[in-house]
Structure 1
Amino acid sequence: MGLSGLEVSRLALGTMTWGTGSDFDAEDAAAQLTSFVEAGGNLVDTADVYGQGASETVLGEFLDKVVPRGDVHIATKAGVVAGGERNRNTSRGHLLRSLDASLARLGTDYVDLWQLHVNDPDTPLEETLATLDYAVTTGRVRYVGVSNHTGWQTARAAAWQRAWPGRSPIVASQVEYSLVQRGVEREVLPACLAMDIGVLAWSPLGRGVLTGKYRFGRPSDSRASSPQWSRFVSAYLDDRSAGIVEAVATAAEGLGVSPLDVALSWVRDQPGVSAAVVGARNAAQLRSCLAAEALYLPPEIRLALSDVSAPVIGYPERH
């Protein structure tokens, strides 16, 4: 993970939906975790606001019962506030209260990676970063990172932490990254490459769109048909995304694999990406994602997909 000593699997297990929704199945979630670890995975990602803490609670119930705590690296986040007037808060008080609550739900005395879920313009950066340092020095956190930060915000935080010996370096940046969402290539990815920060790509399958499941409609059991998740998916059910999906499907057909394999492999092997974070509805779906680990795209197919999905990048990034 960046320049740190933290070694993570190329695929991470996302748990955003664990503990939420009427269709959640704890036994299936346990099967996901078991399959993930057995396949060599070790990074499990959650956040304090996923299901208002339910995701962390479910994961905590599995530790040492389903898989040994030492077999997984737990990554969680803090800084988003569900409800209230202030929807983001990275003040010292809020972060430390959130961390203690996360540890209690997870049933562990430390997390391997603690991430600032968002940038908070109302809290001085120095206060926020000093809180990360305190969490590390007290043993409750091993490594720290950021999530959903812009390029300049990421670079500013990383530079501040490097400016004085003893501060905890920013080792990870978790951002949405897929063939249908390549906006991070304008500034975030270059910043991470320049500062040796590992990128965690969330929603590498374009919120499920890149699997091809929506090519000919919206399946009744899909997230696009769910009242809870339809807005999350609909952002990529446009003509541009449809063209990219067709290119992925064509590449998959030529290689004799699934569109999921192609889309996931493309993100996983992008420069700077430490791990792609995959979240599955069930264990069977997760096993399909894990199978993609064996695929490496031929250079000409990577180039073709990169061309058809290229983001608009101009001045001042290119001049």
Structure 2
Amino acid sequence: MEQRYLGRTGLRVSRLGLGTMTWGRDTDEHEARDQLTAFVEAGGTLIDTSADYADGDSERLLGRLIGTLVRRDEVVLATKAGVCSHMGGVDVSRRTLLDQLDASLDRLGVDSVDLWQVSAWSNDVPVEETLAAMDFAVSSGRARYVGLCNYSGWQTGFAAAYQAAWPGRAPIASTQVEYSLVERGIEREVLPAARALGLGVLAWSPLGRGVLTGKYRTGTPADSRAASPHFERFVGVHLDPASRRIVDAVCRAADGLGLSPIEVALAWVRDRPGVTAPIVGARTAAQLRGSLTVEEVELPVEITAALDDVSALPMGYPERWEPTF
């Protein structure tokens, strides 16, 4: 699998990442083991988890596999902090972030992670405090690089510029945001900010929360995420008429190319300007293997243009403003 640099850093990651949000809850240890084996054998290195996934069970499960199934130096380990499931909200205070990081390291069974990400912005905590916690994570050796998640364009720009303004602060390496053919909102401000500031972009839910697989075209399968009480609302966001038109276009393109809708949708995200890697989460190893075949796929220019057109995002002032005086 091709390796890419994460933004302007020297950290190289596979151009497809493995997401573990379902590990420890909908994905048991046997399936997780098979997923990790298939991913690493395909040349994948980037593994993404979070302190709040399955109340920490995702990290615990991954920790049991690192060092036994794969060597620590074979993977790029990324985790997140800032979401407190038991509190039902976001807490990005220095205390909570560093407590969560220490707990993550313990569950993962490692001394440091390669990429530590703050899960969300909060108006309740000064951003300077959040960023200071990231500085400490790096200076203390707990994290090698730091990143953001789900920040808006101006928030991304503020955080990255603040960190770059003074020597000794930990530079922001990346931002992880939702991006797919049915969710292109980051193209307005986040992608331009990330490219201008040298941040790598990790795309979560590149399959539109599962909708772009085509499995929901005729209903909700009983074994799908949308049928799960954990993910019903999560998937339902993209079960609307506009998304259905995009899914139909993806399926037509897949039929014409002899590919799966998964391969078409993933290849589109993977090759967007500024994107370092889509993060693919799967419930089973079989589902993951269906995504790993995208490494051999390159979409024709005409197909990419057609998909761009059918999923086009309304853009105007100020994103596309030019002076007329």
Question: TM-score, structure 1 length as denominator?
Answer: 0.97
Unaligned runs of 5+ in 1: none
Does 1:11 pair with 2:16?
Answer: yes
- The residue that corresponds to 1:156 in the other structure is 158
- The residue that corresponds to 2:3 in the other structure is none
Task: Give the C-alpha shift of residue 83 in structure 1.
Answer: 3.2
- The residue that corresponds to 1:262 in the other structure is 264
* Runs ≥4 residues deviating over 3 A: none
Equivalent-residue separation in structure 1 for 2:319 and 2:308 (angstroms):
18
- The residue that corresponds to 2:243 in the other structure is 241
Amino acid at match of 2:233: R
C-alpha RMSD of the superposition: 0.9
**Mapping of residues 291-302 of structure 1, within 5 Å:** 291-302=293-304
Equivalent-residue separation in structure 2 for 1:306 and 1:121 (angstroms):
34
Amino acid at match of 1:317: E
Task: Give the C-alpha shift of residue 135 in structure 1.
Answer: 0.8
Task: Give the C-alpha shift of residue 128 in structure 1.
Answer: 1.3
Equivalent-residue separation in structure 2 for 1:126 and 1:217 (angstroms):
47
Deviates more, 1:220-229 or 1:235-244: 220-229
Question: TM-score, structure 2 length as denominator?
Answer: 0.96
- The residue that corresponds to 2:7 in the other structure is 2
**Mapping of residues 1-319 of structure 1, within 5 Å:** 1-21=6-26, 24-84=27-87, 87-319=89-321
SS of residue in 2 equivalent to 1:224 = helix
Tell me the alpha carbon deviations over residues 30-89 of structure 1, each in whole angstroms, 9 at most, x when there is no partner.
11001101100000000100011111000001011111111111110011112337x211
SS of residue in 1 equivalent to 2:116 = strand
Equivalent-residue separation in structure 1 for 2:22 and 2:255 (angstroms):
31
Equivalent-residue separation in structure 2 for 1:235 and 1:158 (angstroms):
30
Identity of aligned residues (%): 60
Count of residue pairs the alignment pairs up: 316
SS of residue in 1 equivalent to 2:114 = strand
Task: Give the C-alpha shift of residue 229 in structure 1.
Answer: 1.3
Tell me the alpha carbon deviations over residues 77-134 of structure 1, each in whole angstroms, 9 at most, x when there is no partner.
011112337x211111111111100000000000000001000211111111111111
Task: Give the C-alpha shift of residue 154 in structure 1.
Answer: 0.5
Equivalent-residue separation in structure 2 for 1:289 and 1:213 (angstroms):
14
